Amino acid sequence: MRTPDSSYISSVLATTEAPCVSIYFPTARTTGTLPGQTAPAPFRALVRRANDLLTAAHTGWVQDIVEQLHKLEADVDFWGQTLDGVVILASPTRFDVFRLPHAVPERVEVGDSFHVKPLLRYAQSAEPFHVLCISPERVALFCGNRYMLTPLAAPGVHLTNDTPEPPSPDTPTLDTHPHHPAAQFFRDVDRQVIHRVSEPSGLPVILVGSEENLTAFRQVTKNRFVTSDAVHGDWMHWNLHKIRRVAWKAFQKHYLNRLVRIREDFGTAEARGKATDNLAEAAKAATIGRVGVLLIDADRTVPGALDLNTGELHPATGSVANDMLDDLAEMGLKSKALVIITPSAQMPTQTGLAAIFRY
């Protein structure tokens, strides 16, 4: 089952064939397969609601989409192994289903495009990063996100120190921390991680290790992707779950600090006439690629549709209407803007959006 990352969401937003059905449903996590388990009654009610909306607004493809939803209702393999949320995006050309390790609000929408703000928010909360655990004897390299962490085997990155003894006092060295027994090992690891992992991916690197080892590594590192926040501790006695949990806490601080800077940048740009919280202005700017950063309120919906070519607003009412904030996010993603779905409490505006212009 494909991971709903930013690349997937961009492909979903490019879908132009209506009707588009979006269903979000919170589920209870199961620890093992439950034989004979089928969709719970609240999900079946959402499918009936989707059927009603499809029948009311569309004439073609309705039966095909509803039949696939009914098949999912009866899929005992699927419902016997659930996580915290289920997302279904269905149209005449796709039927994509995701189990998410993240709760989603119950919702069903039918329109000319998909409702993706909750899915984009999940993708951002699952933003990937690297973890580099260090010690004088060995290092461990991982790639993961808030929900998972997996060991990363990068050819050329030596995970063990074959020469752990400190160099002879007569050996020339460029170390700024020359007495640490693993200075050369750290330098070699740093060089290879930069070349083979960090530069190709551009992902942040969270360091994990004792205070002494972290200090020594920072003395020699030239990796511009290493974050200022790190994890102090004896990682060699931790399991993978704990490493993921503490690394996420460090990365979350890095992520929230970035969000604070963006909000501050918005205030400065708005005072200079280079930002807006007005939907019509942001839509017009997005049509010419002028929007560089776009914050979208995760908890707000503005019914209607945007003309993706002109930016013209077409407000609407009713449950069949699209969300114009979804459309604006689509326009931003297509023009390579940084689009962030943000909880209402962390938005710098009350209109559902905050756009910073490139020029």
- The model's pLDDT over 161-170, given as tens digits with 9 standing for 90+, comes to 765 444 333 3
- pLDDT value at position 267? 96
Two domains, one topology: 6-116 and 129-255:
no
Q: Which CATH class is domain 129-255?
A: alpha beta
Least confident of 18-27, 97-106, 179-188, 256-265: 179-188
* Fold exhibited by the domain 273-357: 60s Ribosomal Protein L30; Chain: A; (3.30.1330)
For residues 341 and 125, give the distance between their C-alpha atoms in angstroms, rounded to a whole number: 10
- pLDDT value at position 1? 52
Q: Cα–chain-centroid distance for residue 47?
A: 27
In the predicted model, what is the mean pLDDT of residues 154-180? Answer: 53
Average pLDDT of the chain, as a whole number: 87
Span 220-255, pLDDT tens digits: 999 999 999 999 999 999 999 999 999 999 998 888
- pLDDT value at position 190? 95
Which residue type does 188 have?
A: D
Three-state secondary structure along the chain? CCCCCHHHHHHHHCCCCCCEEEEEEECCCCCCCCCCCCCCHHHHHHHHHHHHHHHHHCCCCHHHHHHHHHHHHCCHHHHCCCCCEEEEEEECCEEEEEEECCCCCCEEEEECCCCCHHHHHHHHHCCCEEEEEECCCEEEEEEECCCCEEECCCCCCCCECCCCCCCCCCCCCCCCCCCCCCHHHHHHHHHHHHHHHHHHHCCCEEEEECHHHHHHHHHHCCCCCECCCCEECCHHHCCHHHHHHHHHHHHHHHHHHHHHHHHHHHHHHHHCCCEECCHHHHHHHHHCCCEEEEEEECCCCCEEEECCCCCCEEECCCCCCCEHHHHHHHHHHHCCCEEEEECHHHCCCCCCEEEEECC
Indicate the domain borders of the chain. 6-116, 129-255, 273-357
CATH architecture of 6-116: 2-Layer Sandwich (3.30)
